[in-house]
Amino acid sequence: MPNQGYSWVSLLAALAIAASLTSGWLSLWQQQHFLQQVQHWRLQLLQLQQAQRNHFQQFGQFADSQQQLVTNGLLSARSDSPFATAWQFTAQQNILLMNTTINLNSVELLMKDFNGYLWQAPQLTVKVVGYEQP
């Protein structure tokens, strides 16, 4: 009955290979899903910038909030993301600074309580320049 021992070893090896392949596939799927979420957020960011430029061209000033852009029909919906807090707009004549705090867990886990330093989440500032129609 030595063949039965080989069949158990073969079965265990096949199960180990299957588990390894499944784990690798799951990791790739999670990474792909995360990258799709980031790309979607970047697209929303570009749409928000363009909506602010369009608002400036139409009204001579930037919108105070995303809701104002939605109300004026320049943005289809608010661009909320699990990666960032709500956008804060600071207008300075024909320049708008859009600020948000980035909430990526991977960054926070790497830096939190690192040698006693106080953790501050990274900030993202996007500059939008508005041009009036000639």
- Per-residue pLDDT at 87: 87
Where along the chain do its domains lie? 8-130
| pTM of the predicted model as reported, rounded to 2 decimal places | 0.69
CB neighbour list of residue 124: distance below 8 Å, 6 or more residues apart:
84, 99, 100, 101, 102
Question: Per-residue pLDDT for 116 more than 70?
Answer: no
Structure tokens at 6: 């080989």
Tens digits of residue pLDDT in 90-101: 988 888 999 988
